[in-house]
Amino acid sequence: MLRLSAVFVVAAALSGVAMGADSDSMRLSINAGDPGATIDRHIFGQFAEHLGRGIYEGVWVGPDSKIPNTRGIRNDVVAALKAIKVPNVRWPGGCFADEYHWRNGIGPMDKRPATLNPNWGGVIEPNTFGTHEYMDFLSQIGAEAYLSINVGSGTPAEAADWLEYLTTAQPTALAKQRAANGHPEPYKVDLLGIGNESWGCGGSMTPDYYVSQLKIYARYARNYNASHPMRRIAVGPDTSETSYTEAVMAAWKSKTWAWDIEGISLHYYTVVKWPPAFKATGFGETEYATMLNSTRRMEELLQAHIGIMDKYDPQKKVFLSVDEWGAWMAATPGSPQGFLEQQNSQRDAIIAALNLNTFARHADRVRVANIAQMINVLQAMIFTDQEKMLLTPTYHVFRMYVPFQGATYLPYTLSGRTYKHGEFEMPGVDVLAARDAKGKVWLALVNLDPGRTASIDLGAASINQGGAKLSRARGETLIAPKIDSVNTFAAPGTVSPKPFDARPSGGALVLKLAPASVTVVALE
């Protein structure tokens, strides 16, 4: 590990030297001697709301289903999610969370009431997937709980009871009820969202009103499981609106012994304007570049909100949780109203990688993030059609990025060309470099340009200097026939990772990145 560090420091010192033989060559220098923060595995979190076919059919089919399942949770989906090492799943919403009453979702199935889901199509909510099913699902996939409590239409007492029901080991009435419902041991709740979009569907609260609610809920929604600390996340900004960020952080700075939070949330979707009208398939380069440009706004938003947080919390104690992000496109024609179903193309893969790289660049502050949403909704990992399951291009990015979970961010410099289309100009290649716990250096490289291969020159110096030789860059690349290529149940492998293997030639290690591709390699 030490020897590789030395190698890369030399490369950094040489950044800006002559480009390689290929005129399109870009010079990448990684400064392994000046590592940044740990990339929290929780930035690879998922979001699963009671919305459309996200939970029902996507996760829950019921124990009597002919679809193979374990206690009602489909086995194919569990296996696919285990492979991407999902760190946490935010549940039960979204807007749904602020109208959710947890007692409807516990106890015998035949006693659970049918309620309504007014936010998402006005459909019946059967409440067959509730607290115990969610916790069972998490244990099957190996993820932590990120519970969102109802601040909009609930009460502090209801939230406090839910937390006591979940987390106490004492023989209280609620703990006995939990045991009677099949789980004597207390559960662990890692993350607790105190409301959702309280400036919007969560109650249209002013920042000051929300802060007064936050103090109440942060005090009474207690975690009783001493073996597992719970981190509370306040509602924060919608996109560029800063009033919640200011109000919550100012309140945190002058907090008393009686309440606290550990995080604040940001929601930002890649969407050009509301309502979302961009097509998920059948688009051209202008729509491609427009969506990438919208995605790149995440950097600007992080800088703005982190700037405010730094003012109140220079030691970066409070983390930023980007707990709703992703591309929001026009719904698939013919899909049920309010179900937010959309296809997922190579463009989505690029959008996912750009966002993940952006979060990692701010690893010292962004410590939780949740893509919206896990299955069948918005920028999904997985589509289901009854017994069939399909992995999307976005899923493949999450799988390829597993080595970055918990790795240490490495700064880099990249010289070279930009990608231009119409009014837009952006860096031609976006990079994430990190070192894993075993000392291996990983690169994620996104070639944004759909018209040109990018040649990334890792430099002769980095190969030949010192005792360690950089002999190979090996991993996978996600390429597609077209920028709007998608996977379908009939053709599930159209967009899928291919092996990538580069070795030095003529003293230089050059990585050739296909147009509009995502590549993840380990350096050997």
CB of 358 to ligand AHR, least distance (A): 19
**Which residues within the stretch 329-388 sit at the binding site for ligand AHR (CB under 6 A)?**
372-373, 378
Contact between 188 and 144 under an 8 Å Cβ cutoff? The reply is yes
List the one residue from 49, 99, 164, 190 that touches ligand AHR (CB under 6 A): 49
Tokens of 326: 């992703």
Tell me the window of 87-95, 130-138, 168-176, 483-491 that interacts with ligand AHR (CB under 6 A). 87-95
CB neighbourhood size of 498 (10 A)? 11
CB of 373 to ligand AHR, least distance (A): 6
**72 vs 93, beta carbon nearer ligand AHR:** 93
Tokens of 383: 């589509």
What whole-number distance in Å separates Cα of residue 497 and Cα of residue 405?
Answer: 19
Coil, strand, or helix at residue 262? Answer: coil
Contact between 368 and 263 under an 8 Å Cβ cutoff? The reply is yes
CB neighbourhood size of 243 (10 A)? 14
List the one residue from 88, 127, 150, 196 that touches ligand AHR (CB under 6 A): 196
**198 vs 225, beta carbon nearer ligand AHR:** 198
What whole-number distance in Å separates Cα of residue 408 and Cα of residue 32?
Answer: 10
What whole-number distance in Å separates Cα of residue 175 and Cα of residue 164?
Answer: 7
Residue 197 a catalytic site member: yes
Tell me the window of 18-26, 91-99, 343-351, 496-504 that interacts with ligand AHR (CB under 6 A). 91-99
Tokens of 524: 């050997």
What counts of helices (H) and strands (E) characterise the chain? 12, 26
What lies within 8 Å, CB to CB, of 508 at 6+ separation is: 20, 457, 458, 459, 460, 463
Q: Give the closest residue to 480 by CA, choosing from 285, 348, 382, 346.
A: 346
Indicate the residue whose CB is closest to ligand AHR: 94
Q: Give the closest residue to 88 by CA, choosing from 40, 148, 145.
A: 145
Contact between 240 and 301 under an 8 Å Cβ cutoff? The reply is yes
CA quadruple 136, 137, 142, 145: dihedral, nearest 10 = -80
**Which residues within the stretch 131-190 sit at the binding site for ligand AHR (CB under 6 A)?**
none
List the one residue from 197, 341, 348, 476 that touches ligand AHR (CB under 6 A): 197
94 forms part of the interface with ligand AHR (CB under 6 A): yes
**373 vs 462, beta carbon nearer ligand AHR:** 373
**94 vs 497, beta carbon nearer ligand AHR:** 94
* Amino acid in the structure at residue 228: H
Determine whether 114 is exposed, middle or buried from the number of CB atoms within 10 Å of its CB (0-12, 13-18, 19+).
Answer: exposed
CB of 355 to ligand AHR, least distance (A): 15
Q: Give the closest residue to 135 by CA, choosing from 65, 225, 222.
A: 225
93 forms part of the interface with ligand AHR (CB under 6 A): yes
CB of 338 to ligand AHR, least distance (A): 10
**4 vs 233, beta carbon nearer ligand AHR:** 233
List the one residue from 12, 39, 95, 448 that touches ligand AHR (CB under 6 A): 95
What whole-number distance in Å separates Cα of residue 375 and Cα of residue 370?
Answer: 13
CB of 451 to ligand AHR, least distance (A): 33
**Which residues within the stretch 305-334 sit at the binding site for ligand AHR (CB under 6 A)?**
324
Tell me the window of 93-101, 209-217, 401-409, 418-426 that interacts with ligand AHR (CB under 6 A). 93-101
CB of 49 to ligand AHR, least distance (A): 5
**51 vs 431, beta carbon nearer ligand AHR:** 51
Contact between 43 and 64 under an 8 Å Cβ cutoff? The reply is no
Q: Which residue has the tokens 């206690």?
A: 71
Instruction: Tell me the pairing of strands 191-194 and 388-391.
Output: unpaired
**6 vs 272, beta carbon nearer ligand AHR:** 272
CB of 32 to ligand AHR, least distance (A): 38
CB of 297 to ligand AHR, least distance (A): 17
Residue 423 a catalytic site member: no
Contact between 234 and 194 under an 8 Å Cβ cutoff? The reply is yes
Size of the site for ligand AHR (CB under 6 A): 10
Tell me the window of 92-100, 177-185, 390-398, 426-434 that interacts with ligand AHR (CB under 6 A). 92-100
What whole-number distance in Å separates Cα of residue 264 and Cα of residue 218?
Answer: 12
Residues constituting the chain: 524
237 forms part of the interface with ligand AHR (CB under 6 A): no
Candidates 57, 99, 133, 324; catalytic one:
324
**Which residues within the stretch 455-514 sit at the binding site for ligand AHR (CB under 6 A)?**
none
In angstroms and rounded to an integer, the radius of gyration of the C-alpha atoms of the chain is 23
Tell me the window of 90-98, 388-396, 471-479, 513-521 that interacts with ligand AHR (CB under 6 A). 90-98
CB of 458 to ligand AHR, least distance (A): 39
Buried b (16+ CB within 10 A) or exposed e, 361-375: bbbebbbbbbbbbbb
393 forms part of the interface with ligand AHR (CB under 6 A): no
**95 vs 441, beta carbon nearer ligand AHR:** 95
CB of 151 to ligand AHR, least distance (A): 13
**372 vs 397, beta carbon nearer ligand AHR:** 372
Candidates 57, 197, 262, 341; catalytic one:
197
Q: Which residues in this chain contact ligand AHR in the complex, by CB under 6 A?
A: 49, 93-95, 196-197, 324, 372-373, 378
Q: Among all residues, which ones are annotated catalytic?
A: 197, 324
